[in-house]
């Protein structure tokens, strides 16, 4: 594990989490910690339970067993978010990105950003319903923040383009900008670079890095791309068969015989430079 985590309290604790789908145990006593300010990678062969774990953490699915704790305040006792509905975990600053829904593809890139609920600012929005002059001011504020978020991911030139017309990589950048609009504490990204070309992948990596370095956003990222993992993530946590089998720096997990075993049967050797860590 990276060197500076020892004295820090986790922002997220997953304890003995279990999820059964009928007879299939997708997550099997999974335990892990995510540390604030870090970009933690989550890898593992196809079917390892990574996406299901994200669904359990964010509240999209209720677990069969186990607990999830989130540090929503910065210090003090953690909040038990086990089974908490997604809109509530979102309100606490725990955000998972989703693909842009079909109806939003008919809106412009900027409109997509202006629609994002303001998370922790919910109370202010509620209050503004009763005072129209505040609504106008709030809208100008939201537009300014949306433009700022677009600039952050280098999509300003596409502000008035329909979301349906932008490329896969640009959609991923827009999803990241949408996420950042809510001023999250912890962001869960599920394969953000899948299907993204090299140029936009570099832009996506840079934006994630800057969100972490400049805004203190913590990330937990599922990805298979070795370059992304090596340049962006530390530590990396490895899952297989629903549980954590290894964690450490990218080079440490690559060299771990348990990890190599877990990927055996995969189509590519582990850690092939510029290659793919598994069967995506
Ligand atoms: N909603 C579901 N219903 C039934 N089985 C599911 C469901 N979601 C995932 N699974 C199964 O759970 C296992 C883990 O899937 P998943 O979490 O998507 O793995 P990963 O993201 O690591 O590839 C797989 O065997 C998958 O088929
Ligand atoms: Mg998955």
Please report, rounded to a whole number, the percentage of residues in the chain having pLDDT higher than 70: 83
- Judge if 67 and 143 occupy the same domain: no
As for ligand 1, residues whose beta carbon falls within 6 Å of it are: 21, 24, 26, 44, 46-52
Q: How much is the average pLDDT of 36-50?
A: 96
Q: Over 70: is that where the pLDDT of 178 sits?
A: yes
Query: Do 30 and 157 lie in a common domain?
Result: no
One domain, residues 158 and 242: no
With a cut of 70, say whether residue 120 has pLDDT above it.
Answer: no
Q: Do residues 190 and 162 both lie within one domain?
A: no
Choose the residue to mutate in 44, 51, 52 for probing ligand 1, maximizing ligand atoms within 8 Å of C-beta. 52
- Indicate the residue among 150, 181, 212 that finishes a domain: 181
Q: What CATH number does the domain containing 238 carry?
A: 3.40.50.300
The answer to whether residue 11 scores a pLDDT higher than 50 is yes
Nearest to 244 by CA among 15, 22, 81, 65: 15
Identify any residues that bridge with 13 across adjacent strands, giving them in sequence order.
Answer: 33, 69
**Helix or strand run (H / E) with residue 236:** strand 236-240
Residue with token string 């503004």: 128
Do 21 and 125 fall within a single domain?
A: no
In this structure, the answer to whether residues 150 and 216 fall within a common structural domain is no
Same domain, 21 and 84: yes
Task: Quote the number of domains for the chain.
Answer: 2
- 270 and 211 fall within a common domain: yes
Q: Which pair of tokens denotes residue 217?
A: 């956003």
How remote is the CA of residue 268 from the centroid of ligand 1, in Å?
Answer: 22
Assign 130 to helix, strand or coil: coil
Q: Which residues contact 156 (CB under 8 A, 6 or more apart)?
A: 147, 150
Answer yes or no: do 131 and 211 share one domain: no
**Which of 164, 181, 198 is the last residue before a domain boundary?**
181
Spatial strand order in the sheet of 79-80:
24-34, 12-21, 65-70, 79-80
In this structure, are residues 67 and 93 in contact, taking their beta carbons and an 8 Å threshold?
no
Residue after which a domain boundary falls, among 134, 162, 181 = 181
* Over residues 57-74, mean pLDDT: 95
- What average pLDDT does the chain have? 86
Residue-range definition of the domain harbouring residue 175: 102-181
Whether residues 62 and 143 share a domain: the answer is no
Percent share of the chain, pLDDT over 90? 65
**Range of lowest pLDDT (80-89, 90-99, 124-133, 209-218):** 124-133
Rounded to the nearest 5 degrees, what angle is found at the Cα of 223, between the Cα atoms of 4 and 59? 85
Which mutation among 26, 191, 222 tests ligand 1's pocket best, with the greatest number of atoms within 8 A of CB?
26
Confidence label for 123 from pLDDT (cuts 50, 70 and 90)? very low
Residue 224 is predicted with a pLDDT of 87
Q: Per-residue pLDDT tens for 249-278? A: 999 999 999 999 998 755 444 554 444 454
pTM for this one?
Answer: 0.88
């Amino acid at each position: 594990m990276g060197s500076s985590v020892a004295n820090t309290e986790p922002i997220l604790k997953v304890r003995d989490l279990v999820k059964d789908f009928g007879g299939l145990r997708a997550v099997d006593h999974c335990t892990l910690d995510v540390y604030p300010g870090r970009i933690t990678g989550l890898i593992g062969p196809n079917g390892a339970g990574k996406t299901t774990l994200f669904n359990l953490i964010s509240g999209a699915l209720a677990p069969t067993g186990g607990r999830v704790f989130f540090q929503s305040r910065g210090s003090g006792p953690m909040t038990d978010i086990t089974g908490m509905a997604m809109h509530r975990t979102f309100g606490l600053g725990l955000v998972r990105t989703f693909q842009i829904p079909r109806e939003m593809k008919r809106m412009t890139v900027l409109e997509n950003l202006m629609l994002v609920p303001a998370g922790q600012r919910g109370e202010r929005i509620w209050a503004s319903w009763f005072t129209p002059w505040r609504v106008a001011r709030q809208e100008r504020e939201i537009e300014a923040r949306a433009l700022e978020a677009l600039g952050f991911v280098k999509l300003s030139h596409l502000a008035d383009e329909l979301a349906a017309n932008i490329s896969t990589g640009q959609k991923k950048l827009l999803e990241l900008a949408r996420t950042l609009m809510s001023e999250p504490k912890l962001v869960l990204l599920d394969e953000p670079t899948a299907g993204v070309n090299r140029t936009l992948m570099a832009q996506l990596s840079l934006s994630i890095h800057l969100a972490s370095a400049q805004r203190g956003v913590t990330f937990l990222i599922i990805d298979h791309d070795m370059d992304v993992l090596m340049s962006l993530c530390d530590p990396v946590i490895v899952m297989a068969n629903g549980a954590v089998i290894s964690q450490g720096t990218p080079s440490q997990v690559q060299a771990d015989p348990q990890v190599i075993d877990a990927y055996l049967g995969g189509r590519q050797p582990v850690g092939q430079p510029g290659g793919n860590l598994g069967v995506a």
